[in-house]
Amino acid sequence: MERYIIKANKIIARDQLEVMENSGLLIENGKIQKIYDNISQVEIPEQTNVIDYGDKVIIPGMIDCHNHLALDARLENHLVKMEDCEAEQTIRAIKTMKDDLAAGVTTSRCLGDRFYIDVTCKKAQKEGRIAGPKLVVSGIGMRSSHGHGYVGMPHCGAEDFRRTSRENIARGVDFLKVFMTKVINATPFIYHFLTLEELRAVVEEAKSVNITTACHCSGGQGLDDCLTAGIDCLEHVYYITQPQVERVKKEDRWVVYTPSYALNDQLLFKFSPHDREGSLREKEIICKCLSGAIEGGLKFGIGTDGLHQGLAQEACYISGLGAKNRDVLAGITINAARICGADKSTGSIAEGKAADFAVLEGNPLDDIEALKKVTSVIQDGTIIF
């Protein structure tokens, strides 16, 4: 189906995410060729197929800003499974990609997978050999030899980090990822495992080829060091303080929120007793910190951190923590595309961009829960279902 028109009662379009009523879209060769503000006044050429979604709402295809293909947090012992062999992890990755696409996620930003599974899957998806979101990949996530990172590999010293950064770049990654802290910190002091020298080596390598950097960072001194070193995007920020919020905003950095690891009790009870108890104790503190970051007006994306098919729920959590629905929707569409460096090609319904859409039963600008009601998905003009 190379050329056709789709229409709906409401289409949330353009970078401003404006609601258009009784509108339509001309799709040709996988791209949006034209937006019709009033489809009823358009003379449709003969033999042009028209797909009418009636009272449904069409939004841009959703973007998961923090994902791991082989990490499936829906499974028991999902962290331990990151020690599985390459074949097992690849099989799992192929399944999670299909699941995410079915939930309306047409693009996914991968924050590290072992064996370069994300790089391989990106190529395979682009060539049409596997189904799933278009991928933005970081290859091997880099952690310290004594630090956190189930999907990362251990490194020690600036030159070790530099070596893997260069290997990642040689493999064709889109950005570089490091791990600074633990996820949830059940101690008064927030451990930070990378030195400024190690961080700066990664940032230098990324800048040398004009790609960005991201850091798994809950807060504490590690967050300050990330800013000092020049990290572009901070992931999680569960313990961010108000002075840090002000600094992040002043320095115009991005943050990506992944609230389920603090708020989703079903997920927490899959952890070890020690980690579970620590997370439950920290929930109130984390909610206060995240609410403060949202109130502080930081630019943000939203991710699942491997809780596949859960992006809509993550968005609902962020809404519940105080974000406006329009900002939440931007955090999984146009702003998410900006974080991915893909806003010229996707992230909003605009002429010249990819025909990536999710069709919903309801308007997420009125009720963010509508993101859970996906009735159809279109990726690059192909109707998935």
Residues 345-384: tens digit of each pLDDT:
999 999 999 999 999 999 999 999 999 999 999 999 999 9
**Torsion-angle region of residue 314: left (phi > 0), alpha (psi -120 to 50) or beta?**
alpha
Assess whether 23 and 126 both reside in one domain.
no
Question: Each residue of 262-288: pLDDT tens digit?
Answer: 888 887 666 667 666 767 778 899 999
Work out the pLDDT band at 186, boundaries 50, 70, 90.
low
Query: What pLDDT is attached to residue 281?
Result: 79
Assess whether 168 and 28 both reside in one domain.
no
Assess whether 311 and 243 both reside in one domain.
yes
pLDDT at residue 385 greater than cutoff 80:
yes
Q: Give burial (CB, 10 Å; 0-12/13-18/19+) of 375.
A: middle
Are 359 and 61 contacting, i.e. CB atoms less than 8 angstroms apart?
A: no
Question: Each residue of 143-173: pLDDT tens digit?
Answer: 999 998 889 999 999 999 999 999 999 999 9
- pTM, rounded to two decimals: 0.97
Assess whether 107 and 46 both reside in one domain.
no
- Percent of the chain predicted with pLDDT > 70: 96
Assess whether 144 and 274 both reside in one domain.
yes
Work out the pLDDT band at 188, boundaries 50, 70, 90.
confident
Assess whether 302 and 199 both reside in one domain.
yes
Assess whether 87 and 230 both reside in one domain.
yes
Are 60 and 349 contacting, i.e. CB atoms less than 8 angstroms apart?
A: yes
Of 341, 339, 235, the C-alpha closest to 293 is: 235
Work out the pLDDT band at 1, boundaries 50, 70, 90.
low
User: What residues form DSSP beta bridges with 59?
Assistant: 358
CATH number for the domain spanning 308: value is: 3.20.20.140
Assess whether 280 and 183 both reside in one domain.
yes
Of 305, 321, 338, at which residue does a domain stop?
338
Q: HSE on the CB side for 280, CA within 13 Å?
A: 13
Any residues with CB less than 8 A from the CB of 217 and at least 6 apart, and which? 180, 181, 223, 226, 231, 234, 235, 236, 237
Taking the C-alpha atoms of residue 147 and residue 152, their distance in angstroms, rounded to an integer, is 10
Q: Which residue has the higher pLDDT, 79 or 180?
A: 180
Assess whether 137 and 284 both reside in one domain.
yes
Mean per-residue pLDDT of the chain: 95
Domain containing residue 143: 61-338
Other CB atoms within a 10 A radius of the CB of residue 148 amount to 17
Assess whether 227 and 131 both reside in one domain.
yes
Of 239, 236, 215, 220, the C-alpha closest to 288 is: 239
Assess whether 133 and 258 both reside in one domain.
yes
Assess whether 86 and 24 both reside in one domain.
no
Q: What is the mean pLDDT of residues 117-141?
A: 98
Number of domains in the chain: 2
Work out the pLDDT band at 49, boundaries 50, 70, 90.
very high
Query: What pLDDT is attached to residue 5?
Result: 97
